[in-house]
Amino acid sequence: MQLPELPWIEKYRPHNLEEVIGQRLIVDRLKSFVEKKNFPNMIFAGSAGIGKTTCAIAMANDIYGGDLEGAFKELNASDTRGIEVIRGTVKEFAKTKAMGSVPIKIIFLDEADALTADAQHALRRTMEKYSKETRFILSANYASKIIEPIQSRCVVFRFKPLNEEDMRNYISRIGKGEGLDIDEKAVQALMYVGDGDLRKLTNILQSAALQNTKISDVNIYDVAARARPKEIVTMLRCAIDGDFEKAKVELDSLMLRQGMSAEDILSQCYREVQNLSIDERAKLKTVVAIGETNFRVVEGANERIQLEAFIAQLALITKEK
């Protein structure tokens, strides 16, 4: 029986640092560590899908020549958040002797900012005790959630979102590899919904390709369950112009026809309001209204009521003016 094909996020993951897309300054520093076969404990900080895990695995492949057995341990801290995993799995691996020509082992803790405070304090002690034979790489979306004693023992690398050129080259690479016909509007849509997150972009493109090898922007927005920018702008423009009823019709279309959540709608509103040609004071009040509405939605308030209250606020902003 033929095995199913790998997800594209794994199929197109770089296997060494030379293949990593973007993050050139960080990659160059990691290459110098590879040459010396030694490096300090590190924290990779940044938003999701921008290459933190990829860089950790690629660097390990370069150091150990692709043979990671017994030398590289990867754990997802969001799955095992408690102190038990630090005292058990992590400590047991850290205290073993490295095999082969490289005298150190690597423990990679993905999403380390999800570890409890007790687990982080236990990790700090483990990092100190086994510093000769083991190096730690911690990946975190929010480095501030990692306790100061650990931060002071690590070099922090801050990853930035991928730029448009990097994403465009990556899309082109997948298109050629999979025989896809991706038009320019689809490329723009992928970069818009991806928003610098290469993992999200890849999964959306693969889902669209399962339906049709000719990819259009319509396919991308449908698969991503995202509104087209012009639909969000139309709703905002109607509300700001004081036409509450028309803005409500546009909101109904987004929520009922496209099934978008309140958080997704507000997130896109925040992106699009920056480009609206409206009075700066009205723009500032709109951003404040988005923030207040998003907070109430996250806290559990009724999504429909909060979004209608939001567009009502925008209509009132115009009347105040």
Percent of the chain scoring above 70 in pLDDT = 94
pLDDT at 38 (0 to 100): 84
Write the pLDDT tens digit of every residue in 28-63: 999 999 888 888 999 999 888 888 889 999 999 998
Bridge-partner residues for 187, per DSSP?
A: none
243 is written with which tokens? 């036409």
Q: Is the pLDDT of residue 82 over 80?
A: no
Task: Read off φ and ψ for residue 193, nearest 5 degrees.
Answer: -75, -30
pTM beyond 0.75, yes or no: yes
Bridge-partner residues for 139, per DSSP?
A: 44
Q: Is the pLDDT of residue 80 over 80?
A: no
Write the pLDDT tens digit of every residue in 142-188: 888 899 989 988 999 999 888 888 888 889 989 988 888 998 999 99
Distance (Å) of CA 225 to CA 71, 255, 302: 41, 11, 20
| Helix, strand, coil shares, percent, the chain, to 5 | 60, 10, 30
**pLDDT band with cut points at 50, 70 and 90 for residue 219:** confident
Continuous segment of H or E residues that includes residue 175 = helix 164-178
**pLDDT band with cut points at 50, 70 and 90 for residue 77:** low
Task: Read off φ and ψ for residue 293, nearest 5 degrees.
Answer: -65, -40
Lowest mean pLDDT among 86-90, 142-146, 213-217, 263-267: 86-90
**pLDDT band with cut points at 50, 70 and 90 for residue 321:** low
- Average pLDDT on 244-252 reads 90
- Is 228 within 8 Å of 244 (Cβ atoms)? no
**pLDDT band with cut points at 50, 70 and 90 for residue 68:** confident
Domains and CATH numbers, the chain: 8-158 (3.40.50.300), 164-224 (1.10.8.60), 229-320 (1.20.272.10)
- Is 175 within 8 Å of 214 (Cβ atoms)? no
Identity of residue 275: N
- Average pLDDT on 74-97 reads 74
Looking at per-residue pLDDT, the higher value among 223 and 309 belongs to 309
Rounded to the nearest 10 degrees, how much is the dihedral formed by the CA atoms of 260, 265, 268, 270? -170
- What sign does the dihedral 26-9-16-152 (CA atoms) show? positive
- Is 35 within 8 Å of 63 (Cβ atoms)? no
